[in-house]
Amino acid sequence: MKTFTDQLGTLHQFENTPKRIVSLVPSQTELLYDLGLEDSIIGITKFCVHPIHFKSIKKIVGGTKQVKIDKIKELRPDIIIANKEENTKEMVEELSRICPVWVTNITTIEDSLQMIANFGQLFNKRTEAQKWLDKLNFAYQDFQLFIKDQPIKKVAYFIWANPYMVAGKETFINELLQLNHFQNIYEEKGRYPEIELKKIRIEGDPDLVFLSSEPFPFKDEHAFEIGRFTHHYFRGRRIFFVVWKPTCKSVRIL
98-140 pLDDT tens trace = 999 999 999 999 999 999 999 999 999 999 999 999 999 999 9
DSSP structural state of residue 182: E
DSSP, residue by residue, 111-140: HHHHHHHHHHHHTT-HHHHHHHHHHHHHHH
What is the per-residue pLDDT for 243? 66
Provide the pLDDT confidence category of residue 232 given band limits of 50, 70 and 90. low
DSSP letters spanning 15-69 = SS---SEEE--HHHHHHHHHTT-GGGEEEE-TT--SSTTHHHHSEE-B-SSSB-H
**Mean pLDDT computed over 228-254:** 59
Distance CA 152, CA 63 (A): 37
The reported pLDDT for the residue numbered 65 is: 86
**Fold match between 2-139 and 153-253?**
yes
Q: With contact defined as beta carbons under 8 Å apart, do 182 and 201 qualify?
A: no
CATH class of 153-253: alpha beta
- Residue 249 is predicted with a pLDDT of 39
Cα torsion angle, 43, 44, 50, 54, sign: positive
- pLDDT value of position 233: 53
For the chain, what are the domain ranges? 2-139, 153-253
Is a pLDDT exceeding 90 seen at residue 216? no
How far does CA 194 lie from the centroid of its chain? 20
CB 199 within 8 A of CB 188: no
pLDDT digits (tens, 9 = 90+) for 178-207: 999 999 999 999 999 999 999 999 999 999
The residue ranking higher by pLDDT, 37 or 217, is: 37
Which CATH number applies to 2-139: 3.40.50.1980, 1.10.150.20, 3.30.300.130, 3.40.630.10?
3.40.50.1980
Residue 254 confidence (pLDDT) above 70: no
Using a pLDDT cut of 70, give the percent of the chain over it: 93
Mean pLDDT in residue range 234-250: 59
Averaged over 143-150, what is the pLDDT?
Answer: 96
CA distance 212 to 218: 6
pLDDT, position 213 = 82
| Tens of pLDDT, residues 63-106 | 888 999 999 999 999 999 999 999 999 999 999 999 999 999 99
Q: List Cα–Cα distances, 225 to 204, 211, 230, in angstroms.
A: 18, 12, 9
Q: Rounded to two decimals, what is the model's pTM?
A: 0.88
Measured in whole angstroms, the distance separating CA 89 from the mean position of its chain's CA atoms is 17
Residue-wise pLDDT tens digits, 47-64:
898 999 999 999 999 988
* CA–CA separation, 242 and 214 (whole Å): 9
Give the phi and the psi of residue 44 in degrees, each rounded to 5.
Answer: -140, 170
> Is pLDDT above 70 for 235?
no
